[in-house]
Amino acid sequence: MLDFIFQLKKRIFKMIKRLFLGTTEVNFINVGKTFYKFFIVEVILFVSVITLSLFGLLNVNLSVDFTGGTTYQLDAEYTDTDIEEVMSSNLLDVSRYQTFDNSNSIIFRATENTQEKETEFLFYLSNKFQVPDEEIDFQRVGPTFGEEITEKGLQALIIFLSLVVLLISYRYEFKYSLIALVALTHDLLLVFCIYVLLGLEITPSTVIALLTILGYSLYDTVILFDKLKDSIKTSKFSYLSVESLNKTFNEVLMRSLNTSITSAIPIASILFLGNYLGLSGTLTDFALPLFIGILSGTYSSIFVTVPFLSKIINN
State residue 193's pLDDT score: 93
State residue 11's pLDDT score: 61
How many Cα atoms are found within 13 Å in the side-chain-facing hemisphere of 2? 0
State residue 220's pLDDT score: 79
CA 44 – CA 117 distance, rounded (Å):
41
Whole-number Cα distances in Å, 187 to 45, 244, 264: 13, 26, 15
User: What is the enclosing helix (H) or strand (E) of 67?
Assistant: helix 64-67
CA 237 – CA 240 distance, rounded (Å):
7
State residue 112's pLDDT score: 77
State residue 226's pLDDT score: 83
pTM of the model: 0.77
CA 83 – CA 85 distance, rounded (Å):
5
15: left (phi over 0), alpha (psi -120 to 50) or beta: alpha
Phi and psi at residue 230, to the nearest 5°: -65, -40
State residue 91's pLDDT score: 82
State residue 13's pLDDT score: 60
Pick from 170, 290, 292: which is nearest to 225 by CA?
170
8 Å CB contact between 266 and 140: no
Phi and psi at residue 278, to the nearest 5°: 85, 20
The residues, any chain, with a CB within 8 Å of residue 223's CB and separated by 6 or more, are: 252, 255, 256, 301
CB-count exposure of residue 51 (10 Å: 0-12, 13-18, 19+): exposed
State residue 44's pLDDT score: 94
8 Å CB contact between 314 and 283: no
- In the chain, the domains with their CATH numbers are 23-57+145-314 (1.20.1640.10), 69-141 (3.30.460.30)
State residue 50's pLDDT score: 93
State residue 41's pLDDT score: 92
The full length of the chain comes to 315
DSSP 261-276: HHHHHHHHHHHHHHHH
Over the chain (315 residues), the average pLDDT of each successive run of 10 is 56 59 67 84 93 87 78 85 85 79 80 83 88 84 70 82 88 87 90 90 84 80 82 71 76 76 83 63 80 87 83 68
C-alpha 149 chain-centroid distance: 17
Phi and psi at residue 62, to the nearest 5°: -85, 145
